[in-house]
């Protein structure tokens, strides 16, 4: 695992938005950020799942989170702008933005992928993170040292056959990260990096590898050190890096 031990109050006073916060790695990230003192903005498409995470954070006595039900497949520019306005009114800044939500999509020969499925996946995995980041830039600039994380994949760094639009979308995410990171370098305090979680025990992993023993892979909570490192002040100055949750 990525070698980092986070102090309990690492994220005290920070406001962190996590997409896909209702399940899997995003849920673990939201819970972990809250447990380390952050006010977490839970963005996702299934309200009941977001409410369950909200209740868990509240029951644990961590800072009060906020819920943002939004379907990244259908969200428009005005939805992102409205969210930015709401966050400005509630928190006045954004210290962390974790682009975690994604679709796996069809895993087949590229020439068998339906155009519609390609576009749906690119909308959620690439276009939405771009539009959300753009809308959040004024809030990120207001924070003293904001951190943006794009959740990537091993197939977004070295492609493999049959990983279809998912792999291509993760290459795009790495590109988005690199362009943004280079633009922020020396011009702002915002750092921008990507994380490859590696095989992790979630619904997406199960869908990709149905025959695999789930116990073979770590739970989402076990891969949190790299996220905490990048979201907290210890990673100030780390920019444009493609990191691995497994170290």
**Count of Cβ atoms closer than 10 Å to residue 220 Cβ:** 23
Which one of the spans 18-26, 54-62, 81-89, 221-229 is the region binding ligand NDP (CB under 6 A)?
18-26
Q: Which of 4, 54, 80, 166 is catalytic?
A: 166
CA 180, CA 69: separation in Å to the nearest integer?
A: 26
Helix (H, G, I), strand (E, B) or coil at 19: strand
**What is the number of the residue whose Cβ is closest to ligand NDP?**
24
CA 120, CA 141: separation in Å to the nearest integer?
A: 30
71 in contact with ligand NDP (CB under 6 A): yes
Alpha carbons within 13 angstroms on the beta-carbon side of residue 163 total 17
Q: Are 38 and 96 in contact (CB under 8 A)?
A: yes
Which DSSP state fits 88?
A: H
200 in contact with ligand NDP (CB under 6 A): yes
CA 200, CA 102: separation in Å to the nearest integer?
A: 14
Of 172, 15, 25, nearest in space to 90 by CA:
15
Instruction: Report in angstroms how near the CB of residue 199 gets to ligand NDP at its nearest.
Output: 5
20 in contact with ligand NDP (CB under 6 A): yes
Number of chain positions touching ligand NDP (CB under 6 A): 27
Which one of the spans 31-39, 77-85, 110-118, 194-202 is the region binding ligand NDP (CB under 6 A)?
194-202
Instruction: Report in angstroms how near the CB of residue 34 gets to ligand NDP at its nearest.
Output: 16
Q: How many residues does the chain have?
A: 247
Query: Residue holding tokens 């370098």?
Result: 185
Q: Which is nearer to ligand NDP, 18 or 143 (CB)?
A: 18
Q: Which residues contact 53 (CB under 8 A, 6 or more apart)?
A: 21, 22, 27, 30, 31, 42, 65
Q: Which residue in 14, 36, 191, 205 binds ligand NDP (CB under 6 A)?
A: 205
Q: Which residue in 4, 51, 67, 73 binds ligand NDP (CB under 6 A)?
A: 73
Instruction: Report in angstroms how near the CB of residue 27 gets to ligand NDP at its nearest.
Output: 7
Which one of the spans 78-86, 105-113, 141-149, 202-210 is the region binding ligand NDP (CB under 6 A)?
202-210
Q: Which residue in 84, 146, 151, 177 binds ligand NDP (CB under 6 A)?
A: 151
CA 126, CA 80: separation in Å to the nearest integer?
A: 15
- Host H or E run for residue 246: none
Verify whether residue 80 is a known catalytic residue. no
124 in contact with ligand NDP (CB under 6 A): yes
Active site residues: 166
Binding region for ligand NDP (CB under 6 A): 20, 22-26, 44-46, 49, 71-73, 100-103, 124, 151, 153, 197, 199-200, 202-205
């Amino acid at each position: 695992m990525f070698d980092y031990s986070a102090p309990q109050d690492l994220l005290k006073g920070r406001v962190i938005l996590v997409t896909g916060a209702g399940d899997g790695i995003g849920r673990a990230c939201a819970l972990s950020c809250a447990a380390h003192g952050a006010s977490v903005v839970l963005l996702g498409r299934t309200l009941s799942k977001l409410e369950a995470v909200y209740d868990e954070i509240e029951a644990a006595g961590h800072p009060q989170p906020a819920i943002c039900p939004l379907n990244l497949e259908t969200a428009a520019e005005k939805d992102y702008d409205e969210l930015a306005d709401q966050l400005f009114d509630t928190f006045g800044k954004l210290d962390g933005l974790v682009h975690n939500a994604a679709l796996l999509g069809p895993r087949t020969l590229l020439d068998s992928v339906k155009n519609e499925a390609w576009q749906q996946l690119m909308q959620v995995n690439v276009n939405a993170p771009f539009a959300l980041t753009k809308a959040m830039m004024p809030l990120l600039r207001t924070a003293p040292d904001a951190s943006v994380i794009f959740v990537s994949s091993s197939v977004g760094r070295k492609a493999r056959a049959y990983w279809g639009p998912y792999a291509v979308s993760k290459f795009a995410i790495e590109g988005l990260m690199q362009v943004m990171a280079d633009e922020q370098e020396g011009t702002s305090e915002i750092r921008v990096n990507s994380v490859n979680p590696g095989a992790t025990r979630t619904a997406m992993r199960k869908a990709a590898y149905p025959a695999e023993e789930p116990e073979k892979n770590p739970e989402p909570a076990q891969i949190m050190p790299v996220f905490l490192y990048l979201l907290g002040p210890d990673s100030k100055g780390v920019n444009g890096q493609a990191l691995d949750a497994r170290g």
